[in-house]
Amino acid sequence: MPQSEKPEMTLEDKVKSLTSRDRERILEVFKASLTHEYAAFLQTCAHCGLCADSCHYYLTQKDPKSIPAFKLHQITKVYKKNFDLIGRKLPTLVGAEELSNELIEEWVDTLFGRCSLCGRCGINCTMGINIPYLIRTARGALAAVGLVPPGLQSTVDTAVEKGNNMGISQEDWLETVEWLEEELQKDVGDPEAKLPLDKSGARCMYTINPREAMFFPLSITAAGKIFYAAGEDWTFSSKNYDVTNYGLYNGDDEAAGIMSGRLVQALEELNCRELILAECGHGFNSNRWEAPEWLSRRYGFPVNSILQLIADYIRTGRIKLDPARNQKTVTLHDPCNLVRLGGIVEEQRFILRHSVKNLVEMYPNREKNYCCGGGGGQLAMTRFAERRLEVGRIKADQIKATGAEVVVTPCHNCIDQLMELNKHYKLNVEIKTVSEIVANALVIQD
Amino acid sequence: MPEIEAKGQTIQLNEEGFMQNPEEWSEEAALALAKAEEDLDSLTAEHWSVIHYIREYYEEKKLAPMVRKVCKGSGLSLTRIFELFPSGPAKGACKLAGLPKPDGCV
């Protein structure tokens, strides 16, 4: 449902009207999601400040409120006041503070509005504190009392209610697949080329980011073309194909479990043997790493990124690529959830070295890369849109310094932010997925 | 908060340039949005066929149409739609047709 149709009480009004019961609820949910390990982290920050220069928010804004240690302290002081012996008895001694409505307002601004959960502070922390995990946990406590900024919450709600985060009807999905199948057949010159739907027993089930079907379908045909060239045995599900999971961003484990659980159910119903995730950073992190925790179960099948599959096709000679077809200079943006937090680091580089003439790295790169600014649900939270563009300046500068004509990134969320950075900072680059680049370099063998 | 002028009226936009109140939309508003958001000084018949299709679909269903439907409804190819609206179907075409921002990774 469009946001404008929802009965609106502003987030600020909601915070002002919180009761002591609501505040207790926030603390209960927060406490319930803290493991011993993470409770220990909350006692560990040495306030060394090294994290400041790791954060794209602080580097661009120079606002002390954007220093990761400060963001963490917003949570720590509440933890100490409620769950730590000294904090309860002598709060001023350890900087403990009660969770008031004023502090909750600051939590909303800090935890949702000054963090993209990119994890760069975590790898630069001298104590090894997993700061984004703690911020996500506190976001989840706010979610329990309805304090998630509207666009982010409505994206979760739409996904839970409609089965995908853009509310695409099944009829529209099927019609789009049929249309793209015709486009694929024209492209490869084979009327038998398929985008299979509900093919029972197919080796792998592929997923997409709904924005591909809704607005940017070229990456779907590109993936279809790669599968066609490799002779892959694959299928889409007619019902559950959404790789995204904004439950990772609003911190609501129950909603997150519902979304990821649907992919598992679809795969099992179709008797597929491998779940293949589209180019989506947070979708990869959610479904590859977090979902078994949310669902409290072990998966009996592998979960891989399409990048791993494409890299395998190249290694085993299942597809043939001609880099001469991609002459423009290309640089690669590393999505935080896929690379730093997801562990898929070299596959995309291996693939691009086989599909483009000239690949230049931005600096820093791989797990040290800067966030584009669009992660953590930032794209969905209109209220923080200006900040999102402001903190994306680092990424814009990184891109400019490469002199590249094309920016490739295996994440649709990053792509949208990069498109905005392209416009705002006048970068004059093309922005593409890895699949699109590979599809363009494919030499279709008979 | 940004705003545009259309038919002598001030129209409020949100932080991302989408209309706060989609019902205030008019062709004049689309022209003002085209200038403010897509840096287009004028809109061609092709632009209008896309904008009108999206607007009519939205008024009937209160939803943004799939790009498949936009191609069919406007008679234009996908490539042409991307050329006409540099910010793409969502932040370009749907925005100019006065739709609210869609949910999801946009």
Confidence class for position B104, pLDDT limits 50, 70, 90: confident
Average pLDDT over residues A11-37: 95
Give the C-alpha separation, A44 to A46, whole Å: 6
Confidence class for position A206, pLDDT limits 50, 70, 90: very high
Model confidence over B39-57: pLDDT tens digits?
999 999 999 999 999 999 9
Two tokens, residue A240? 């559950």
A171 and A90 housed in the same domain: no
- Residue A2, pLDDT > 60, answer no
Q: Who among B68, B89, B103 is closest to A176 (CB)?
A: B68
- Chosen for mutation from A3, A4, A219 (greatest number of chain B CBs closer than 10 Å) is A4
Total count of domains within chain A: 3
Give the C-alpha separation, A26 to A141, whole Å: 5
For chain A, what percent of residues have pLDDT higher than 70? 98
DSSP A24-51: HHHHHHHHHT--HHHHHHTTT-----GG
Kindly tell me the sign of the dihedral angle through the C-alpha atoms of A30, A36, A41, A42: positive
A96 and A239 housed in the same domain: no
Q: Which of A367, A374, A373 is nearest to A346 (CA)?
A: A367
Topology of the domain comprising B3-96: Arc Repressor Mutant, subunit A (1.10.10)
> Last residue of a domain, which of A312, A331, A350?
A312
What is the length of chain B?
106
A168 and A304 housed in the same domain: yes
Tracing tokens 């047709």 back to the chain, one arrives at B97
Residue A274: strand pairing partners: A204
Model confidence over A292-312: pLDDT tens digits?
999 999 999 999 999 999 999
Asked if B87 reaches chain A (Cβ–Cβ under 8 Å), the answer is yes
Q: ipTM above 0.85?
A: yes
A142 and A218 housed in the same domain: no
By CB neighbour count within 10 A (0-12 exposed, 13-18 middle, 19+ buried), where does A122 fall? Answer: buried
DSSP A95-148: T-----HHHHHHHIIIIITS-----HHHHT-TT---HHHHHHHHHHHHHTTT-S
> Last residue of a domain, which of A289, A312, A335?
A312
Average pLDDT over residues A159-187: 97
Nearest residue of B to residue A389 by CA position?
Answer: B16
The predicted pLDDT at position A5 comes to: 46
The predicted pLDDT at position A3 comes to: 44
Model confidence over A307-362: pLDDT tens digits?
999 999 999 999 999 999 999 999 999 999 999 999 999 999 999 999 999 999 99
Phi and psi torsions of B41, nearest 5° = -80, -30
Give the C-alpha separation, A134 to A68, whole Å: 11
Model confidence over A110-168: pLDDT tens digits?
999 999 999 999 999 999 999 999 999 999 999 999 999 999 999 999 999 999 999 99
Task: Determine the structural domain holding residue A408 and report its residue range.
Answer: 317-443
Give pTM, 2 decimals: 0.96
The predicted pLDDT at position A426 comes to: 97
- Residue A2 belongs to some domain of the structure: no
DSSP A179-232: HHHHHHHHHHT-TT----BS-TT-SEEE-B-HHHHHT-THHHHHHHHHHHHHT-
Model confidence over A368-418: pLDDT tens digits?
999 999 999 999 999 999 999 999 999 999 999 999 999 999 999 999 999
A43 and A59 housed in the same domain: yes
- Chosen for mutation from B20, B78, B105 (greatest number of chain A CBs closer than 10 Å) is B105
B71: annotated active-site residue? no
DSSP A53: G
Two tokens, residue A192? 């038998």
- Residue A103 belongs to some domain of the structure: yes
- Residue A332 belongs to some domain of the structure: yes
Q: Who among B14, B22, B88 is closest to A215 (CB)?
A: B88
A173 and A287 housed in the same domain: yes
The predicted pLDDT at position A1 comes to: 40
Kindly list the residues from chain B whose CB atom is less than 8 angstroms away from the CB atom of residue A175: 66, 68
Tracing tokens 């789009």 back to the chain, one arrives at A176
Q: Which of A125, A104, A135, A91 is nearest to A24 (CA)?
A: A104
- Residue A276, pLDDT > 90, answer yes
- For residue A419, the SS3 value is helix
Give the C-alpha separation, A80 to A205, whole Å: 46
Model confidence over A190-202: pLDDT tens digits?
999 999 999 999 9
Two tokens, residue A332? 């690669």
Averaged confidence pLDDT in chain A: 96
A65 and A16 housed in the same domain: yes
A65 and A43 housed in the same domain: yes
